[in-house]
Structure 1
Amino acid sequence: MKVAVLGVGGVGQVFASEIVKADYLDQLLLGDIVTEGAEKLAGKLRHQAKAEIIVKKVDAGKVEEIEKVLKGIDVVLHAGLPAFNFNVMEACINTATNYIDMACASPAGLKEQLQWNDKFKAAGILSIMGLGCDPGFSNIAARYAVDQLDHVDEILIRDGDNSEIDYNGFCSLFSPQTAIEECLAKPNYWTADKGLSFLPEPFANREKFEFPEPIGLLDCYNVEHEEATTLGDTIGKTKGCQYVDFKYALDPDFVNTVKAIGYLGLNSDKDINVKGTKVSPKDVVVAKMPKPTELAGKIHGYSCIGAAVKGTKDDKKKEFFVYTMANHDEIYEKTGHQATVWQTGLPPAVAVDLLAQGKLNDKGCIPPELIDPVPFLTRLKERGMYWDVIEKTSPVTQMATV
Structure 2
Amino acid sequence: MKAAVLGVGGVGQVFASEIVKADYLDQLLLGDIITEGAEKLAGKLRRKTKAEIVVKKIDAGKVDEIEEALRDIDVVLHAGLPAFNFNIMEACARTKTNYIDMACASPQGLKEQLQWNGRFKAAGILGIMGLGCDPGFSNIAARYAVDQMDQVDEILIRDGDNSKIDYEGFCSLFSPQTAIEECLAKPNYWTADKGLAFFSKPFANKETFEFPEPIGPLECYSVEHEEATTLGDTIGKAKGCKYVDFKYALAPEFVNTVKAIGYLGLDSDKDINIKGTKVVPKDVVVANMPKPTELAGKVHGYSCIGAVVKGIKEDKKKELFVYTMANHDEIYEKTGYQATVWQTGLPPAVAVDLLAQGKLQAKGCIPPELIDPVPFLTRLKERGMYWDVIEKTSPVPQMATV
What pairs with 1:45-124 in structure 2 (closer than 5 Å)?
45-124=45-124
Cα distance in 1 between the residues matched to 2:314 and 2:303: 33
Aligned AA for 1:396? V
**Cα distance in 2 for residues equivalent to 1:244 and 1:399:** 28
Which residue does 1:288 correspond to in 2?
Answer: 288
What is the CA deviation profile of residues 249-277 of structure 1, one whole-angstrom value per residue up to 9, with x for unaligned ones? 00000000000000000000000000000
Segment drifting more, 389-398 vs 124-133: 389-398
Query: 1:125 aligns to what?
Result: 125
- In 2, the alpha carbon distance for the partners of 1:372 and 1:149 equals 16
Change (3 A) 1:397 1:77: same
Tell me the amino acid that sits aligned with residue 289 of structure 1. M
Structure 1 counterpart of 2:4: 4
What does the per-residue CA deviation read over 1:146-205, in whole Å, with 9 as the maximum and x for residues that have no partner? 000000000000000000000000000000000000000000000000000000000000
Aligned residue for 1:303? Answer: 303
Which residue number in structure 2 is paired with residue 209 of structure 1?
209
Count of aligned positions: 400
SS in 2 for 1:53: strand
Deviation at 1:397, TM superposition (A): 1.9
Q: Is the counterpart of residue 157 in structure 1 residue 157 in structure 2?
A: yes
TM-score, structure 2 as length reference: 0.99
Instruction: Name the structure 2 match of 1:35.
Output: 35
Letter of the 1:275 partner, please give it: K
The alpha carbon displacement at 1:398 in A equals: 6.5
> 2 CA distance for matches of 1:126 and 1:334?
32
Q: Find the residue that maps to 2:131 and give its secondary structure.
A: coil
Cα distance in 2 for residues equivalent to 1:333 and 1:20 = 19
1:288-367 equivalences in 2 (<5 Å) = 288-367=288-367
Q: Provide Cα deviations, 1:190-246, integer angstroms capped at 9, x if missing partner.
A: 000000000000000000000000000000000000000000000000000000000
The amino acid of 1:277's aligned partner reads T
Shift of 1:94: 0.4
TM-score by length of 1: 0.99
**How far 1:399 sits from its partner (Å)?**
10
CA distance in 1, matches of 2:309, 2:216: 18
Measured against aligned partners, the alpha-carbon deviations of 1:313-365 in whole angstroms (never above 9, x if no partner) come to 00100000000000000000000000000000000000000000000000000
- Identity across matched positions, percent: 88
User: Using the alignment, how far apart are the partners of 1:125 and 1:262 within structure 2?
Assistant: 40
Matches within 5 A, 1:167-316: 167-316=167-316
**What letter matches 1:223 in structure 2?**
V
CA distance in 2, matches of 1:58, 1:215: 41
Give, in whole Å, the separation in 2 of the partners of 1:39 and 1:55. 7
Alignment partner, residue 374 of structure 1: 374
Mapped to 2, the partners of 1:274 and 1:232 lie a distance apart of 46
Residue 136 of structure 2 corresponds to which residue in structure 1?
136
1:368-390 CA-to-partner distances (Å, cap 9, x unmatched) read: 00000000000000000010000
How far apart, in 1, do the equivalents of 2:335 and 2:85 lie? 28
Query: Aligned partners of 2:25, 2:393: CA distance in 1, in Å?
Result: 44
Distance 1:19 1:228 in 2: 29
Name the SS for the 2:135 alignment partner.
coil
Q: Secondary structure at the match of 1:392?
A: strand
Distance of 1:119 and 1:61 partners within structure 2: 21
What are structure 1's unaligned runs of at least 5 residues? none
Compute the displacement of 1:304 (Å).
0.1
3-state SS in 1 of match to 2:325 = strand
Letter in 1 for 2:41: L
Matches of 1:399 and 1:108, distance apart in 2: 43
Partner SS state of residue 76, structure 1: strand
Question: In structure 1, what is the Cα distance between the partners aligned to 2:90 and 2:359?
Answer: 25
Task: Report deviation, 1:83.
Answer: 0.1
The one-letter amino acid of 1:170's match is: F
RMSD: 0.8
Q: Distance in 1 between matches of 2:161 and 2:147?
A: 27
For residues 122-159 of structure 1, give each alpha carbon's deviation from its aligned partner in whole angstroms, at most 9, with x where no partner exists: 00000000000000000000000000000000000000
Report Cα offsets for 1:266-322 as digits up to 9, x if no partner: 000000000000000000000000000000000000000000000000010000000
For 2:399 and 2:128, locate their aligned partners in 1 and report how far apart those are by CA, in whole Å: 47
What do the CA deviations read for 1:80-100 (whole angstroms, capped 9, x no partner)? 000000000000000000000
In 1, Cα distance between equivalents of 2:238 and 2:362? 21
Deviation of 1:391 after TM superposition, in Å, equals 0.3
